[in-house]
Amino acid sequence: MNPYLQLSNVTVSFNGFLALNDLNLDVSKGELRCLIGPNGAGKTTALDLICGKIKQSAGSIAFNGTALDGLEEYRIARAGIGRKFQVPSVFRELTVSDNLRVACAHHPGVLSNLRPGHRRADDEAVERLAELVGLTDQLRKPAAFLSHGQTQWLEIGMLVAQNAALILMDEPTAGMTAQETRKTADLFLRLKGRHTLIVVEHDMGFVKAIGDVISVMHLGRLLAEGSASEIESNPAVRKAYLGRGGITHA
Amino acid sequence: MMQPKSIDPISRHRPSAELVAILLVCALVIVAPVLLNNDYLLNKVARYLVLGMLAMSLSLSWGYAGILNLGQAMSFGLGSYAMAMTLKLKTVPVHTGPQGLPDFMVWNNVTQLPWFWWPFESQTFAIFAGMAIPAAVAAALGWFMFRGRITGVYVAIITLAAMVVLNLVIIDQQQYTGGFNGITDLAQLELFGIAFDAYGRSTYYLVAICMTGALLGAYAFTRTKAGLIIQAIRDHESRVRYFGYDVGAYQIAAFALSAAIAGLAGMLYTIVMEFASPTFLGVQLSLSVVVWCAVGGRQSLLGALLGAILVAGVQGALSESATFLETWTLVMGGLFVLIVLFLPKGLAGLVSSLWTLARQRSFRPFRSLHRIGQTEGGA
Amino acid sequence: MDQFIQQFLTGLSIGSILLLVAIGLSIIYGAMGIINLAHGEFVMLGAYAAWFLQVQFGMGLLTSLVPIFLLVAAFGWLIERFVLSFLNNRPLDTILATWGVGIMLQQAVRLTAGGELRYVKMPEALSNSTDILGVQISLYRVFLLVASLVLFAATWLLMNRTTVGMKLRAIIQDRSVAASFGVNARRIYGLTFAYGAGLAGLAGALVSPLKSVSPEMGTGYVIDAFMVVVLGGVQSLVGTVASAFILGELSGVIAFLQNDTVAKAIVLLAIVVLIRFRPQGMFATRVRA
């Protein structure tokens, strides 16, 4: 059986600098995959590539049996891939509820969104989502007024709203308190199974709490893959992180 | 399935303050002829309403979709010429040429009506074209710009350039367009047996109804989900793309809709002014539209409309004296710069923040109680 | 053959004027991300300054070039200091602000110098024609070509071989990092804008003997100059030169076959089509976003 998402021999070059170098990565359906690695390993670049923000110079990507190569971003999104950015990206001038409404993108065409009264159709979903990410009290506030942690939550909520089959999360817990991080971990465990997730994280505690399989990247390549304990005992991984006190404190 | 809760903060879609204000203004516009018993003044008001409509159309593309169109007058001018062309062909006394040629063509030794004038023999076609041509031109221009992912600054200058070039072409091709003088000496529009005299009530009502319709239509558009999505695009274009929306298509749609409304305004302007001129798609007018929008509030349809009426009205009042008018342009330029610097949301933004402030003052205890109740219930 | 050379030289001449007007715009846009819509009015100011100095003080065009550069540059500095510096991170609003400034300048000139056309005398020594490959061409046009290339070379050296230029390039890369190394971004921006404005003033003075001088003359120039910048790609001075001469030759040929207006329309259409497929311009390389 083919993997759900498959990156085969992918190379990304920025003016000669190889951000990804012959990377191979397979993710199966319903999995929660954590992607870790030292700075500059190419984790964010890998996510950028999958969601179409950048294009590879060699290699190919297939998702659920379709080739994603050369597709525009919105087509990749419609194929069922959602993305959360490292710098939380929400619509700052819109209210929280409008942010969630935009993210309910079941009908992305222009004409289907011209019907009057369409906004009410999303109300129920918006309420449910707001409750899920704890923003019920903030629904009428512009997103610009949210705290950093709340903004992260809002974007996560928007991804749930989008209901993508594959969700790419880039450092979802950055700027969150320990308690918020725990809540995020709970949420991710609930999403697992229904959605396939790829999460880039630095926080090893978080990674251990949620991940089945961990992929370690280094210098644009896949260095190791396995469970948390396998990864921690892997000499190559230790070497890549050497001088930084081992993987746990990365 | 959950039952919709009526007390929930977001299910409670109250008519917004903006809608109430819009309806008030529309009502005022409709009853104005009763208060103003002066045909000359009524014509003037009709003119300002048309300009208000033009500013409103820019607010749709600039304020809502974030597409700063410095050539908004291009759509206006196209609409204006479409109307002037059909009315010119209906003018009986100037059918001086062998096949009923417009007078300026005869003066320029044109012997046959050029092909692009033929369809304008039909008034129905002209009315359709007055909106469809600007919309199509905008959509085509938009296709190139938005599919090429051109950003704000580029869009602004490309639209300006397109308008300037079209203006030059119209002046240059005077044997077909009337050139510098425009198209003058027009017949009156007749629709459903009503003749629209520029100084008659019928024309005022035509303008008032079109403006009201356009304003409510544009407002309804901003309240649809598509209207919400274009605002999201203004805020963070690439984010919208990753939700699966084809950003370019939305931008083209908003841009074309705005152009169609401007085209309609242009048609009305020809009826009210009784001529069409290259100045209707000139830099001066286009700048004015941006100024009106900025003064009134670019992110408010009504604000932009009232801004136009206010500024154009003041200018009209001053225009009795030529020196005043010249200083006025100077003052306008300065005022514009100050508004851009210190009041980016214009008067509508000012009113809205004052309104919020006032409400917060008077309802504070109420609101916080409400909030406490909610958190306890929600947790 | 003569016909061909004649046509080529005409295009070269148009190109040199385009280049003169575009360098300033290109510098300001490349460095600060600001489309200076008052650029055309700076050109107009330069032309009026040339006229004024000639009529009032009997100064020749060549001797008045330096004071004109300084004058318009000082003016540009004031605009940057008191208007644009309030608009950090609001690129669309800078367009509006400079547009407003442009309108004020236009009206101020109309009120003080009058709306009628003005004419500037060509320098005596350059008013004759010369013979190039059997074709007569006005010496002044040759001078313009040389002047545009000299100004380009000076600008290039300034950007790439001086400390100010290096600081500016550092700010373009990353303003906050540059600032943390002690680069005074505020001051560098002011100087850049002043320099761009000064170049526009020079351009205005230099073209004034060939064209009539009027308060409205700027609008056409700013749009032409912008076309050059779009075609050449921003942050590419060499691209600006190449595209100025390409557009010059192209306009020359179309204008010969049709007329100036048709040439403008066709050039615009070509550029609109171009941005769909190569939005970064003809000569810019793709960089990591």
**Shortest distance, CA C218 to any CA of chain B (angstroms):** 12
**Shortest distance, CA B1 to any CA of chain A (angstroms):** 9
- Chain A residues near residue B65 by CB distance under 8 angstroms: none
Number of domains in chain B: 1
Contact assignment for C107 to B143 by CB distance below 8 Å:
no
Report whether pLDDT(B298) > 80.
yes
C276 touching A, CB under 8 A? no
The pLDDT of residue C288:
37
The 3-state DSSP class for residue B102 equals coil
CA distance A63 to A4: 6
- Chain C residues near residue A92 by CB distance under 8 angstroms: none
Mean pLDDT of chain B: 82
* SS3 track for C199-234: HHHHHHHHHCCCCCECCCHHHHHHHHHHHHHHHHCC
Interface mutation vs chain A, best among B221, B225, B300, most A CBs within 10 Å: B225
Contact assignment for A105 to B243 by CB distance below 8 Å:
yes
The pLDDT of residue B95:
52
In a domain, B339, yes or no: no
Closest listed residue to residue A143, CA positions, set A184, A99, A83, A180: A99
In a domain, B123, yes or no: yes
- Chain C residues near residue B332 by CB distance under 8 angstroms: 103
**CATH number for the domain that contains residue A197:** 3.40.50.300
Model confidence pLDDT, tens digit, residues C146-193: 888 898 888 888 888 888 777 877 777 777 777 777 777 778 888 888
Range of B108-117, B297-306, B362-371, C31-40 with top mean pLDDT: B297-306
In a domain, B87, yes or no: yes
The 3-state DSSP class for residue A25 equals strand
Token pair listed for C133: 């490959």
Q: Residue A15 — φ and ψ, nearest 5°?
A: 45, 45
Minimum-distance CB partner of B225 among A73, A97, A119: A119
C neighbours by CB contacts (3+ pairs under 8 Å)? A, B
Model confidence pLDDT, tens digit, residues C77-127: 999 888 888 887 777 788 888 888 988 888 888 888 877 788 877 777 777
In chain B, DSSP assigns E strands to 189-191, 194-196
Minimum-distance CB partner of C219 among B283, B332, B333: B283
In a domain, C9, yes or no: no
The pLDDT of residue A119:
63
Token pair listed for B118: 């033929």
Model confidence pLDDT, tens digit, residues B241-256: 888 899 999 999 999 9
Report whether pLDDT(B211) > 90.
yes
> In chain C, whose CA is at the least distance from the CA of B345?
C93
C288 touching A, CB under 8 A? yes
The pLDDT of residue A236:
81
DSSP secondary structure letter of residue C284: P
Question: Could you give the percent of chain B with pLDDT greater than 90?
Answer: 26
Identify which has the larger pLDDT, A169 or C184.
Answer: A169
**Shortest distance, CA A240 to any CA of chain B (angstroms):** 33
Model confidence pLDDT, tens digit, residues A146-160: 888 888 888 888 988
Name the pLDDT band for B270 (thresholds 50, 70, 90): very high
The 3-state DSSP class for residue A214 equals strand
- Chain B residues near residue C33 by CB distance under 8 angstroms: 153
C-beta atoms surrounding C153 within 10 Å: 12
Report whether pLDDT(B93) > 70.
no
- Chain C residues near residue B141 by CB distance under 8 angstroms: 272
Run of H or E residues at A197: strand A196-200
Model confidence pLDDT, tens digit, residues B156-198: 888 888 898 898 889 888 888 888 888 888 888 878 878 887 7
In a domain, B350, yes or no: no
Lateral strand order in the sheet of A58-63: A17-27, A5-14, A58-63, A66-67
Contact assignment for B158 to C277 by CB distance below 8 Å:
no
Lateral strand order in the sheet of A81-84: A81-84, A166-170, A196-200, A32-36, A213-218, A221-226
CA distance C47 to C62: 13
Residues C262-274, mean pLDDT to the nearest whole number: 81
Name the pLDDT band for B78 (thresholds 50, 70, 90): very high
Residues A99-125, mean pLDDT to the nearest whole number: 79
**Shortest distance, CA B337 to any CA of chain A (angstroms):** 24
Report whether pLDDT(B81) > 90.
yes
Report whether pLDDT(B369) > 50.
no
**Given phi > 0 = left and psi -120 to 50 = alpha, else beta, which region is A246?**
left
C112 touching B, CB under 8 A? no
For chains A and B, count residue pairs whose Cβ atoms are closer than 8 Å. 116
Minimum-distance CB partner of B141 among C96, C227, C272: C272
CB contact residues (below 8 A), chain A span 176-235, against chain B? none
- AA identity, residue C182: G
Minimum-distance CB partner of B226 among A89, A103, A114: A114
Number of domains in chain A: 1
Contact assignment for A113 to B224 by CB distance below 8 Å:
yes
Minimum-distance CB partner of C279 among B150, B162, B291: B150
Interface predicted TM-score of the whole assembly (ipTM), two decimals: 0.87
Report whether pLDDT(C42) > 90.
yes
Q: Which long-range contacts (CB under 8 A, 24 or more apart) does C75-78 make?
A: C75/C42, C75/C45, C75/C197, C75/C201, C76/C42, C76/C193, C76/C194, C76/C195, C76/C196, C76/C197, C76/C198, C76/C200, C77/C190, C77/C191, C77/C193, C77/C194, C77/C197
- The two counts, helices (H) then strands (E), for chain A are 10, 10
Model confidence pLDDT, tens digit, residues B50-77: 999 999 999 999 989 989 888 899 999 9
Exposed, middle or buried, C179 (CB in 10 Å: 0-12/13-18/19+)? middle
**Shortest distance, CA B127 to any CA of chain C (angstroms):** 27
The pLDDT of residue B267:
94
Its domain, for residue A241, covers 5-249
In a domain, C175, yes or no: yes
The pLDDT of residue C83:
86
Its domain, for residue B170, covers 17-285
CB C199 within 8 A of CB C155: yes
The pLDDT of residue B15:
56
Token pair listed for B246: 């084809």
Identify which has the larger pLDDT, B363 or B348.
Answer: B348
Judged by average pLDDT, the poorest of A99-103, A120-124, B256-260, B302-306 is A120-124
Report whether pLDDT(B9) > 50.
no
Question: Could you give the percent of chain B with pLDDT greater than 70?
Answer: 87
- Residue B269 makes CB contacts below 8 A (sequence gap 6+) with B47, B50, B51, B76, B79, B80, B280
- Chain B residues near residue A51 by CB distance under 8 angstroms: 242
The pLDDT of residue B11:
36
- Chain A residues near residue C288 by CB distance under 8 angstroms: 14-15
Report whether pLDDT(A59) > 50.
yes
CA distance A182 to A146: 20
- Chain A residues near residue C287 by CB distance under 8 angstroms: 15
The two beta strands, C129-132 and A196-200, are unpaired
The pLDDT of residue B268:
94
> In chain B, whose CA is at the least distance from the CA of A144?
B235
Name the pLDDT band for C136 (thresholds 50, 70, 90): confident
Contact assignment for B228 to A98 by CB distance below 8 Å:
yes
Run of H or E residues at A12: strand A5-14
**Shortest distance, CA B313 to any CA of chain C (angstroms):** 20
DSSP secondary structure letter of residue A142: B
Number of domains in chain C: 1
Minimum-distance CB partner of A74 among B1, B11, B241: B241
Interface mutation vs chain A, best among B2, B3, B10, most A CBs within 10 Å: B10
Report whether pLDDT(B13) > 70.
no
Mean pLDDT of chain A: 83
Report whether pLDDT(A43) > 90.
no
The pLDDT of residue B366:
44
> In chain A, whose CA is at the least distance from the CA of B239?
A89
The pLDDT of residue C177:
76
Residues C63-79, mean pLDDT to the nearest whole number: 90
A neighbours by CB contacts (3+ pairs under 8 Å)? B, C
The pLDDT of residue B322:
66
Report whether pLDDT(B94) > 80.
no
In a domain, B5, yes or no: no
Buried b (16+ CB within 10 A) or exposed e, B319-358: eeeeeeeeebbbbbbebbbebbbeebbbbbbebbeeeeee
Its domain, for residue C108, covers 17-217
Report whether pLDDT(A141) > 50.
yes
CA distance A44 to A220: 10
- Chain A residues near residue B374 by CB distance under 8 angstroms: 136-137
For chains B and C, count residue pairs whose Cβ atoms are closer than 8 Å. 115
Closest listed residue to residue C222, CA positions, set B87, B119, B160, A116: B160
Contact assignment for B333 to C101 by CB distance below 8 Å:
yes
A15 touching C, CB under 8 A? yes
A14 touching C, CB under 8 A? yes
In a domain, C225, yes or no: no
Minimum-distance CB partner of B341 among C95, C97, C230: C97
> In chain B, whose CA is at the least distance from the CA of A158?
B243
CA distance A66 to C195: 54
